[in-house]
Amino acid sequence: MSEPLLTYRGAVYPWHCDHVGHMNVMWYVGKFDEATWQLFNAIGITPSYLRRAKRGMAAVDQQISYLREVRAGAVVTIRSRLVEFKERSLRFAHEMTDDETREVVARTTLKAVHIDSEARKSCAFEPEIAKLAKVRLRGD
């Protein structure tokens, strides 16, 4: 399993909070999504690659655990790691921490499939991406 990579750092704003005063689930998912693109970038799944190769990534499974409330004003960090890499898919995990308390406030695990955006079906990752992903998976 790979070492965690810093993939997001930001603040929780009042408009991120719901009627009971803590960050609404849509904002957890949004912050995790931003972290996902940082992780993808680290293994070569960059915006320019996706455009050039006519490829995309599709989330097919996500599990989230909400462990602690997060309120407006909190500063959070997400660290991410690659958990599994296959020919056409990958599984990865994010962990969100409250920077002040150092408590883990949420975790999520996702599976994403690499797709040919024209044929609209899964396809193999390019060799360079597979190489970078396998290095990240080993933690080298």
Provide the whole-model pTM.
Answer: 0.94
In this model, does residue 1 exceed pLDDT 60?
no
Residue 140 lies in a domain: no
pLDDT tens digits, one per residue of 15-26: 999 999 999 999
Render pLDDT for 40-74 as a digit per residue (tens, 0 to 9). 999 999 999 999 999 999 999 999 999 999 999 99
Boundaries of domain holding 91: 5-135
Going by their DSSP bridges, the two strands 121-122 and 75-85 should be labelled as unpaired
Strands (E), the chain: 5-11, 55-66, 75-85, 89-98, 104-116, 121-122
What's 53's domain CATH number? 3.10.129.10
Q: Which residues pair with 85 in a beta bridge?
A: 90
Tell me how many domains the chain contains.
1
